[in-house]
Amino acid sequence: MHQDLECIFDWFEFTIHSLNEEEVILQVLKLNLADFIELPKGRYGYKKQLALGHISVLYNGADDMGIHVILSGKGCREYESDCTLLELLDRIMLYDGKCTRIDMAMDDKTGEIIPFDKIIEAIQTGTISSRWKTSTEFIKRKLHDGEIVGRTINIGSRKSKMYMRIYDKSLEQGQDTHWYRIEMEIKDERAENLQTILLFESQIGQVFAKIINNYIRFLEPNDDSNRSRWPTASWWENLIQEIGKTSLTRKPEDRTVEDVRDWVRQQVGPSLALLFIADDNSLEDIMRTIYAGRSRLKEKHMRLLSNTKKVPESYPEGLEPV
């Protein structure tokens, strides 16, 4: 594996018609059905939605819509805490599922491999050959002092089936380090094609490099009036070569207890309030459910607790599970 670049999947969406929502969770995702909660509404035309963290299972749509699953960037990291995304791809294919979106990302945490400033300069001077027609540069600043806190280059249209994003991840995260990211957002039949390729191609970095090289090339200007004959810039060739050496990186979630607390407030809060009101403002049943949940804590939960209070040794009196 290349030591200075990390290749990850940063978004997954797929649809399966041959199974119901419970079977998709158990047989495809290989997750515990009891860990999912039903959200108040669905999306994308589906009437219902089950969620586990940032993993969503949409169902109860039209007859031809099947079951649709979304793993956001955080959802991919959460999923990798217990499972692997490449094995998930195998199971999606096994049940005749189709990927509708796959995002791949390449991270450079040295600041020396992805030449962010050279990429911006080349875009501004037009020394590029690309199947895309336009790019958009976003700069985010603090109002009180003008400090730049975000910088992103989007290449292509977000509505298209292929879309490229290059940005300063360290600025986005508020970190005083070097971290640049190249992302490819791949949708619809292009995602299906990538799904098939990934089943047979173990060199993920080479797949990523070929996709990028097929859509964009940065040039070294010379006196030739025909831009198409300009040679590829050496720095871009070096970057593509380095990307090609990279293997897929497994990146488990980096969550905190506060992340879990925020998620409970947003996703579970209304349901807890409903139970509280239904029980005449009594917390007894809710507390019993909480303490009974200790038996379902997994290793990933214990890691989050490692720097917090220990799990109590016994149930409080009167709250023993029934």
Q: Is the pLDDT of residue 282 over 90?
A: no
What sections of the chain are H helices per DSSP? Answer: 21-23, 73-79, 85-94, 116-125, 169-173, 188-200, 204-215, 234-244, 257-263, 269-278, 284-292, 299-305
pTM of the model: 0.78
For the chain, what is the mean pLDDT? 88
The pLDDT value given to residue 71: 98
Q: Is the pLDDT of residue 28 over 90?
A: yes
Residue matched to tokens 């020396």:
112
CA distance 295 to 181: 40
Least confident of 37-51, 142-156, 179-193, 238-252: 238-252
DSSP class of residue 309 equals: P
For 103, left (φ over 0), alpha (ψ -120 to 50), or beta?
beta
Paired with 103 in beta bridges are: 11, 185
Domain ranges of the chain: 5-244, 257-305
204-215 helix and 234-244 helix, angle to the nearest 10 degrees: 150
pLDDT band for position 127 (50/70/90)? very high
The pLDDT value given to residue 39: 93
The pLDDT value given to residue 219: 96
Tokens representing residue 211 in the block:
């996709």
User: Apex CA 279: angle with CA 274 and CA 285, to 5°?
Assistant: 95
